[in-house]
Amino acid sequence: MKKKNKYLIGIIAIIVIIAGALIISADAGSSKVQVAGSTSVQPVAEKLVEVYKESHPDAQINVQGGGSSVGIKSAEDGSADIGMCSKALDNNSSLKQYELGKDGIVIAINPQNQVSDLSDEQLQGIFSGNITNWNQVGGSDGKINVITREEGSGTLDAFESIVMGDSKIKDDAVVQSSTEAVKQSVSQDPNAIGFVSYAHISDDIKAVNVNGVAPSDATIADGSYELQRPFLFLTNGEPTGETKNFIDWVLSDDGGKVLADEKIIKTSK
């Protein structure tokens, strides 16, 4: 009888060990979070992950780009836990949206260019091809080289909606697939013009005032700088596990400090 009891106890112990291992394995799997989408949001998300992991060292969060269209699609089909998007979604979207804050769209030119301010009409004329020389907008003589983004870019969608209206960007504009590629093109060409995220402003490009208003934290927050759009995280339904923990942290005061450092203008909760 004693042998039988020992045998049963041994079996129970093995079952408990296996069950514990399975639970640990499941927990480990659930902590892997895939984030994909907008290349404008991507570096901000990467910084958020970096700081988040300081207090959550076991979290496994992978961030990759692809554009806002990829962020929307990957959230919808479940290939990513979180989609990143840098444009407003239509009211028919079934995705749950988390606004990280507002980002300005900066008109970027080469630092050697003396132009400092452009109106909406001038921007529309430049990007549509009706204005072709910098001397037509107060600059030196030189052919304007237009840099734009690829189809599916949230930055492009927002720029077209705010600036272009019914006009189309000129067919021979140079198309780049990321914010950094636009910056590189502009920084290397004294006659280039493009548009980038406010969060990506750096010394190798020059930000132009639009309608007399400079892009800044204050002008984006109060709406006087009109070229702006939301930065969004997207999920398909209510997030759970590490995905929920990460999003909750991003929307907390701790996450807000990171967003402010990254030039994302935090909105009210």
pLDDT by position in tens, the chain (length 269): 545 555 555 555 454 444 444 344 344 444 699 999 998 899 999 999 999 999 999 999 999 999 999 999 999 999 999 999 998 898 788 999 999 999 999 999 999 999 999 999 999 999 999 999 999 999 999 999 999 999 988 899 899 999 999 999 999 999 999 989 999 999 999 999 999 999 889 999 999 999 999 999 999 999 999 999 999 999 999 999 999 999 999 999 999 999 999 999 975 44
143 with 235: CB under 8 angstroms?
Answer: no
* Portions of the chain given CATH number 3.40.190.10: 2-101+233-261, 104-228
Domain range 104-228, CATH class: alpha beta
Contact 82, 243 (CB under 8 A): yes
> Residues 73-131: pLDDT tens digits?
999 999 999 999 998 898 788 999 999 999 999 999 999 999 999 999 999 999 999 99
What pLDDT shows up at residue 90?
83
Amino acid identity, residue 99? Answer: E
CATH topology of domain 2-101+233-261: D-Maltodextrin-Binding Protein; domain 2 (3.40.190)
Overall pTM surpassing 0.95 (yes/no): no
Q: Please tell me the distance from the alpha carbon of residue 53 to that of residue 249, in angstroms, as a whole number.
A: 11
Q: In angstroms, rounded to a whole number, what is the distance separating the alpha carbons of residues 88 and 231?
A: 8
Cα torsion angle, 198, 236, 47, 55, sign: positive
Give the strand pairing for 206-210 and 96-109: antiparallel
Give backbone dihedrals phi and psi of 211, rounded to 5 degrees, phi first.
55, 35
